[in-house]
Structure 1
Amino acid sequence: MTYKLPLLLALLGATAVHAADADTIYIGGTILTVNDKAPTAEALAVKNGKIVAVGTRKAVHAAEHGPKTVIVDLKGRTLIPGFVDAHGHISGVGMQAVSANLLPPPDGPVHSIADIQRIMRDFIATSPMVKSTGFAIGFDYDDSQLAEKRAPTRQELDAVSTEIPIMVIHQSGHLGAFNSKAIAMAGITADTPNPSGGVIQREADGRTPNGVFEESGLALIAYKIMPKTTPTQAMAMIDAAQNIYMANGYTTVQDGKTDAAAMAMLTGAAKAGKLKVDIVSYADLVTLKDDPILRGPWMSRNYTDHFRIGGVKLTFDGSPQGKTAWFTQPYFVVPAGQKPDYAGYPAFPKPGEAQGWVDMAFKNNWQLLVHANGDAAIDQLITTVRSAEQQFPGKDRRTILVHGQYLRADQIPELKKLEIFPALFPMHTFYWGDWHRTSVAGPQRAEFISPTGAVLAEGMMFSIHHDAPVTFPNSMRVFDSAVNRTTRTNYVLGPAQRISPAVALKAMTLWPAWQHFEADRKGSIEVGKDADLVILSANPLTVPPATIKDIKIDATIKAGTSVYTRPGVN
């Protein structure tokens, strides 16, 4: 009996779009498809950057193997879809890559303010960027992990240099510390008032800036003094950032809250053919407002040279670990100098201000991402989106709640009703879980941070992310944090909010692809989708959960092309 090809494939156990002589066939390992209809496969074939067959080894080989086909033996390893970055800032990672590393362990060497001073002195002495710009930047100090449990003061940074302006950014990205030279360059004095939605921390006299600037206060000084980068420097930063993401298995990367300078850098890289992964930008609505770029061809559901603008972003509050997030209840331990009822503050304190920005996004049918960490900020998100939906109904905008650290249980049904998609941040359980319990919110409230389990129980999709450069875009640490929720001291923070490895894999692939309106072409291993793939050293669904963080990214493939191979791996 003779069968036509489609029937033959069905009998053999494969699905395919016939394209004989596939470029590549993957065999010899576990293939996790993230497709509920066929969760695993023995083989897949790729041609012209697309998946053309998935199924049994015999069927895929029969249908797709040709004289030029390259056979890749996985050697027992695991193949998964490429990770989709649910929220991060690749432009910030580029800046981080050329700045001093002030992270605490396990990602950096800093334990104290003395360490910050030592590292910044060494950086000023050796950095080509400092030499070319006359400006020194350090990234990601974390007062919760410093011996002093506070930020460095301007005097402590003056001890590093009084000649070169110094800016060190808190790991949250919502605060920063500056030396006296930088403060003077910005024209900020004791008479400079706090900006709306921000704070300039003061010395004992209540007037003199102590060097620490919060939220819009950080923007007030940073935008005035940040050095401009040359096109060559900008390309080098994007290159360095892409390499970091590809080494962590990301094939689609987000740039959240892209300002004008970063937008120029990213579009320039795209036009120059420098992008190797897809980058989706969400423009900073407050600074770009009605900029023509938001109505041009870059604002699209489709990529041009690996870049597109997916929508816009707003920030409703600050950082819980930096104690600027906006809560309905006071902080467990209020910051020095604050009243006992201190509960953070909104980014838009003026009546109707937040609503105006949300209305602008909805009126233009721009997908909207809103950073909201504290439950008061999430209340504001729910209220403003509800009002905007009533005024501008009928569109699938997929509004995104970014972070949602202190999302309350009673707010989850409201998100579902308004179709607000939660992009959650369980990485906090490791990096700041102990700090949340002992200082930010106390032991009871901290158990419910980033409540992935409760959101899943409500029948909702969600994504999980790293928010790089807040943390490194370490995909397996993201995975681990959602599955295990262990803190630095190995305390399990909110065991009821843990999710299974299979759900965590979806929350890093298919569900963020849906979040970005890209699930029709990304996020799972199915015929017709982009061949965005990652080879892992082990299967995250079967290894002991505590070892997930130790799994290595052996290779990353973007649209069928290898863009990263782990050194020493064949």
Structure 2
Amino acid sequence: MSDVIIYPARTVRTMDKVVPTAGAVAVRGDVILAVGETEELAATYPGATVDERYADRVLAPGFVEAHSHLGGEFGASPYFLGYFPRTAPDGTPLPGAQTWQGVIDALKVWDAELPEGEVLFARGLDMLFFPGEQLTRGVLDEVSTTRGIYVTHASGHVGTANSVLLERAGYGPGTEVEGVVLDADGVPTGELQEMQAMGPVMALAGIDLSKGLTTEGGLYAFAADARNHGCTTATDLASFDLVRPGGYDLLAEVTGRDDFAVRLVPATFGGMTKTLEQAQQLAGAVAAQQGRATPKLHLGSVKLMLDGSIQQYTAKLQDPGYVCNHDAGIWNTDAATFRDQVRAFHAAGLNIHVHCNGDEATEVFLDAVEAVLAESPRWNHRHTVTHSQLTTRAQYKRMAELGMCANVFSNHIWYWGDQHIDLTVGPDRVKRMNAARTALDEGVTIALHSDTPVTPLDPLATASYAAERRTPTGRSWGDAERISVYEALEAITIGPAYLLKLDHLVGSIVPGKYADFAVLDRDPVEVAEAKELREITVLGTVVGGVHHEAPVAVGV
């Protein structure tokens, strides 16, 4: 058994209730052979090599992120204006901006640094953190009247452009494109809401999603970020790579390398289709690719989009809506077109993930699934409401009956927790928001996600927010919807693996599954309080038996 390697650990936390913990795991090739104690495994597999590198570490299942985005150069823009500082995958600090003057100063510094003629594209700003201020074309024109400037807000659903880009996009007085915000005189303010309005300006800024943004460098940056946070399987949940020339070849080539540290699940974006025929054509193209899957490239999922963002007031909410009496939001896809999209992708046997922030959007998705199941009965589809932020108990009951899943955006509890209490849905409705407890109680399998680059890819932190339900200022989001630490850990391991139809391969440390581990300094199940999950150090990952050390582990 010279090809068997036994890895002793302080604890092997399997997330499998049959054998919840062990002292070691045996690996053969890229697969888990057995879990148990070192002596037992050595006796069972004589001649096996015992590798002590993790003897004082905790091995947990590699975390699974079922809603993330590669973003390529789009997500990796160094011009970061977020309120909460971040760290780039290579360790570079991204301080963001915590004051309004800091936002303006940063834009002016970047404008001075960029070559003439290059568009300044900044990301991550959220105006909810700067009450009383407005980001308009006039503010950006004060930075430059010759360079195009585009600032995308943290959600990715709203952006602001200066006059240079607005004029190039053809947005002038009286523009009637939905989402192009006009002032009292009918002149564009610079704010662009949702994809129809943002698309032309994004293209001018070099962000043409339909042509693909994936690069080799972007893939490796994403994999490094995943490694640094214990994540071994992750989605690109709005991908064009499988349906653009050379896209599959790039993914297959890069993910096939041993030094690439994450299994990738590209979910093709189907929201661009406008007719049943277009949706059927795209569904056929995606379905035809499934036979080209590899161990680190998993195919067969698609992404659709209904509404917008709650914190940008573009999500579609049922009564009582927003507490600020804002309007009813924006549909990215109308109900009739959406039903045709669901019909086509469901009939093709694909796994459908749909962006639904508001409960009105969730209702439209449930109606569509119920209709297509009546036309084309299909078991085990696992169609997923992703974000699922305001999904109600009645909707979760219906989801369970329809065989649907929920991917809950628990990071909102932290990153916009206070703002949702004060500015969007109010102190009562947040008690029912991101309702992981209700979902589980009604029999719906859940995942928790980051939607990176919207919020940081950090599954342990994501789990902590769902179990703690406290904002950065310590305010409660309602304890009734808290889930246990163990349930939260399931929702970043076996839960998302189930949503992605990969639970037979990843999500727990069980014989026959891939040897994918997160290497930790503490056992996450044994924390005294949920917030301690954020204090656990990730020292690296193992993906299919290949070791990927995080920079923080050097010298530890």
Q: Could you tell me the TM-score, scaled by structure 2's length?
A: 0.90
Local SS of the residue matching 1:478: helix
Q: Specify the alignment match of 2:59 in structure 1.
A: 79
Alpha-carbon separation, structure 1, partners of 2:245 and 2:64: 23
Contact 1:482/1:499 (<8 A) preserved: yes
Contact 2:67/2:449 (<8 A) preserved: yes
1:117 and 2:98 correspond: no
Q: Specify the alignment match of 1:184 in structure 2.
A: 167
Contact 1:51/1:525 (<8 A) preserved: yes
Local SS of the residue matching 2:175: coil
1:549 and 2:529 correspond: no
Q: Write the letter of the residue equivalent to 2:269.
A: D
Q: 1:248 aligns with which of 203, 224, 229?
A: 229
Change (3 A) 1:510 1:264: farther
Change (3 A) 1:118 1:490: same
* Stretch deviating more after TM superposition (426-435 or 536-545): 536-545
Q: Specify the alignment match of 2:92 in structure 1.
A: none
Q: Specify the alignment match of 1:200 in structure 2.
A: 180
Alpha-carbon separation, structure 1, partners of 2:231 and 2:246: 20
Contact 1:331/1:439 (<8 A) preserved: no
Cα-to-partner distance string for 1:526-563 (whole Å, 9 max, x where unaligned) = 11110010111111111222221111111111111112
Q: Specify the alignment match of 1:509 in structure 2.
A: 493
Q: Specify the alignment match of 2:316 in structure 1.
A: 326
Local SS of the residue matching 1:272: helix
* Stretch deviating more after TM superposition (166-175 or 131-140): 131-140
Contact 1:175/1:218 (<8 A) preserved: no
Q: Specify the alignment match of 2:296 in structure 1.
A: 306
Deviation at 1:260, TM superposition (A): 5.8
Deviation at 1:298, TM superposition (A): 6.8
Q: Write the letter of the residue equivalent to 1:97.
A: A
Change (3 A) 1:553 1:304: same
Change (3 A) 1:50 1:503: same
Local SS of the residue matching 2:17: coil
Identical amino acids, percent of aligned pairs? 26
Query: What does 1:392-403 align with in structure 2 at a 5 Å threshold?
Result: 392-403=376-387
Deviation at 1:38, TM superposition (A): 0.7
Change (3 A) 1:529 1:161: same
Query: What does 1:31-42 align with in structure 2 at a 5 Å threshold?
Result: 31-42=12-23
Query: What does 1:301-380 align with in structure 2 at a 5 Å threshold?
Result: 303-304=293-294, 306-334=296-324, 340=325, 342-349=327-334, 352-380=336-364
Q: 1:413 aligns with which of 397, 400, 404?
A: 397
Q: 1:285 aligns with which of 265, 270, 274?
A: 270
Q: Write the letter of the residue equivalent to 1:82.
A: G
Contact 1:273/1:305 (<8 A) preserved: no
Q: Specify the alignment match of 1:9 in structure 2.
A: none
Contact 2:23/2:37 (<8 A) preserved: yes
Change (3 A) 1:446 1:293: closer
Q: Write the letter of the residue equivalent to 1:161.
A: S
Contact 2:8/2:50 (<8 A) preserved: no
Contact 1:24/1:72 (<8 A) preserved: no
Q: Write the letter of the residue equivalent to 1:105.
A: F
Local SS of the residue matching 1:554: strand
Contact 2:10/2:55 (<8 A) preserved: yes
Deviation at 1:293, TM superposition (A): 8.4
Contact 2:121/2:205 (<8 A) preserved: no
Cα-to-partner distance string for 1:299-337 (whole Å, 9 max, x where unaligned) = 328733732432211111111111111011254443xxx
Deviation at 1:373, TM superposition (A): 1.0
Cα-to-partner distance string for 1:125-153 (whole Å, 9 max, x where unaligned) = 44xxx549812211111111125454x11
Q: What is the aligned length?
A: 535
Which consecutive residues of structure 2, in runs of 5 or more, have no partner in the other structure?
Answer: 87-94, 274-278
Q: Specify the alignment match of 1:7 in structure 2.
A: none
* Stretch deviating more after TM superposition (285-294 or 20-29): 285-294
Change (3 A) 1:132 1:515: farther
1:57 and 2:38 correspond: yes
Q: 1:101 aligns with which of 80, 83, 90?
A: 80
Q: Specify the alignment match of 1:449 in structure 2.
A: 433
Contact 1:200/1:214 (<8 A) preserved: yes
Alpha-carbon separation, structure 1, partners of 2:524 and 2:292: 31
RMSD between superposed Cα atoms in Å: 2.6
Q: Specify the alignment match of 1:16 in structure 2.
A: none
Deviation at 1:514, TM superposition (A): 1.2
Local SS of the residue matching 1:101: coil
Change (3 A) 1:95 1:132: farther
Q: Write the letter of the residue equivalent to 1:492.
A: S
Q: Write the letter of the residue equivalent to 2:422.
A: T
1:221 and 2:200 correspond: yes
Local SS of the residue matching 1:189: coil
Cα-to-partner distance string for 1:442-465 (whole Å, 9 max, x where unaligned) = 111111111011111123321100
